[in-house]
Structure 1
């Protein structure tokens, strides 16, 4: 095991790996053990007044490069849009373009800040199909890291997320872009997108079986309530389970043709109340705990019109954090049931 040393706030550098959890004044985890420092994490630590930390002595300093992630995101949405349109016109999947998109995302979106910023950005509703695929790819990458998968597995997850809805290129536009809920007949047609996606990929030697099965099974659920086969538990591959959670989270926190986005804490509550038996519990709880930690320090508006800062995540009710109000008083939303978070500010 590498030796650890304590360093001062002025010595924080990208590439250093923290050797223990770093907590705020309320005991909430700001940075998890073994996290590699980046520009965002260092800024966050300084913002919270963390004046010293413990790191592993052996580390490789990372060169910080200025990057325009918004430009990269927009360029790759346009690239993915061209892929979808080509498939809709009967052409084969351009795997080289897909590989380039995955590489661009992995090279440029290296911190949770980069990723969440673009998940929360306001996008045109007509762009949803394309931005959703990029977002799910980014979320899958995050989850792979949080689950401590190896780099090959994480890269596979990136492909799973990007291609999970590729079958929607074969769904009639009047159903895909309908400005309202689908009726029963339309929903049955929409549900075919997972099989259609699998069929697009199945003869492509550049796409692994793991990716194909994630595309096919990302709507399967642990309790057998999903589709297309009604599989349960261990019948569902790991990559499909991870892709499913990323898919649901981004769908619920995005503006759609027929509904406005939910706040992340509304979605956390939905996961806690409705999805603990539908998604893999271990994977889901890891995801919820790690992504909720990102919002520690975020400013929020509550349903009574008051404003405050999230200072602690309740591990047994992640959707109901502890908030410090502007007058310095503390509200535990797990006890103040009548209050909800109506808006989260970045």
Structure 2
């Protein structure tokens, strides 16, 4: 199957076909559409001399083992997310400046986000592979929305509820665009005063959407409540248990998981299984227990077949996840076929360092 793909010139291969003319800054056509690449070093040097680093080519999906089915899934997903983020920035700016987002615009945003979830690929594996994307606020909003949507599907929510839930999750960090950038991007631990500023984003976001007729009250309430905790330790109101809306309970789980598995200015990201362990140990009394147990049960299975790197440097594949110890799966070592049970006491010093 032939595919058009934008690639770095470092990934040029013999036999690739140029998908569109390459024009330099002076308007001169360096290579024409349909050109077949052969002398790769010569072409790369020529393109580099014109400060051209990425080009669009036509390739066969089986041309090289670099371009696997998974490669294309990640490429397409990243492209879709980029488009969604660009749209999200425009929506946030419109709301920030007092504009009204039309209901049709919201519907389109939600439809595009849901379409990104409903392919034949594994959503969580793909999210894990695009964590290097920039624009933290927007990227976090989008990943929380996608994860919330998946949790909602696991809970058998209706189509209407799923759309509402997804939109609410997209909007949870809207208020952060009102927080000083030097606080949002601070690389050191926040002071007590700075943390109090961050906590204001729930109310700031709610105030920005409360008068928008394109957003219903259930969505607005989730924006306000997504940092509430069932034990009353959350903010901004310190609500407990049944005082917190269903959408907020779902989004809070997605929010914590996404935050843990994303790189922050002040720390590196956790692996999915490190995040699961933290959720098990630190959040059982804070997040809705029923929804959290469902999430933990389901998400572990999403990583079956994932390639990982152990802390001793060996590459392996996750082949089984024990229900009683989901953070310590069975893995098969690449090259040797050795099976290692990480839940076995004799392997206690081994752990998953990184997902590939």
- Contact residue 112 and residue 142 of structure 1 kept, 8 A: no
Taking the aligned partners of 2:340 and 2:299, their CA distance within structure 1 comes to 21
Unaligned stretches of 5+ residues in structure 1 = 1-46, 48-66
Would you say the 8 A contact 2:133–2:139 is kept in 1? no
Alignment pair present for 1:151 and 2:159: yes
Moved more, 262-271 or 223-232: 223-232
Provide the TM-score with structure 2 as the length reference: 0.73
> Normalization by structure 1: what TM-score?
0.75
8 Å CA contact retained: 1:87, 1:169: no
Counterpart Cα distance in 1 of 2:120 and 2:326: 18
Q: Equivalent residue for 2:227?
A: 219
Compare CA radii of gyration and give the structure with the larger one.
2
Residue 338 of structure 2 corresponds to: 329
Aligned match for 1:287, one of 265, 287, 295: 295
Q: Give the superposition deviation at 1:109.
A: 2.8
| Number of aligned residue pairs | 280
Alignment check: 8 A CA contact 1:253 1:262 kept: yes
CA shift digits 1:169-216 (9 cap, x unpaired):
221222222233221101101101111111112122221111111111
After superposition, what is the alpha-carbon deviation per residue over 1:245-299, rounded to whole angstroms, capped at 9, x for unaligned?
1111111111222222111111011111111111111111211221211111112
Higher relative contact order (CA 8 A, sep 6+): 1
Shift of 1:100: 1.7
**Residue 87 (structure 2) aligns with:** 79
Partner in structure 2 of residue 258 of structure 1: 266
- After superposition, the Cα gap between the structure-2 partners of 1:95 and 1:208, relative to the gap in structure 1 and judged at 3 Å, is same
SS in 2 for 1:267: helix
* Contact kept? 1:252, 1:267, Cα under 8 Å: yes
State the 1:337 CA deviation: 2.5
Residue 207, structure 1, aligned to residue 215, structure 2: yes
Choose which of 337, 345, 350 in structure 2 pairs with 1:339: 350
Q: 1:128 aligns with which of 104, 125, 136?
A: 136
Q: Does 1:231 align with 2:231?
A: no
User: What SS does the aligned partner of 1:261 have?
Assistant: coil
SS of equivalent to 2:135: helix
Preserved contact between residue 69 and residue 109 of structure 1 (Cα < 8 Å)? no
How far apart, CA to CA, are the structure 1 residues paired with 2:212 and 2:280?
A: 38
Which stretch has the larger CA shift, 288-297 or 120-129?
120-129
Q: CA separation in 2, counterparts of 1:187 and 1:80? A: 25
Distance 2:174 2:122 in 1: 24
The SS at the match of 2:354 is: strand
CA distance in 2, matches of 1:201, 1:103: 20
Shift of 1:332: 2.2
The CA deviation at 1:114 is 5.5
Instruction: Give SS of 1:308's match.
Output: strand
User: Which stretches in structure 2 are left out of the alignment for 5+ residues?
Assistant: 1-68, 70-74
When structure 1 is superposed on structure 2, of 273-282 and 116-125 the one drifting more is 116-125
Output aligned runs, 1:1-346, within 5 Å: 68-93=76-101, 95-111=103-119, 113=121, 115-122=123-130, 126-326=134-334, 327-335=336-344, 336-345=347-356
In the alignment, the residues of structure 1 paired with residue 299 and residue 132 of structure 2 have an alpha-carbon distance, to the nearest angstrom, of 25
CA contact (8 A) 2:175 2:205 kept: yes
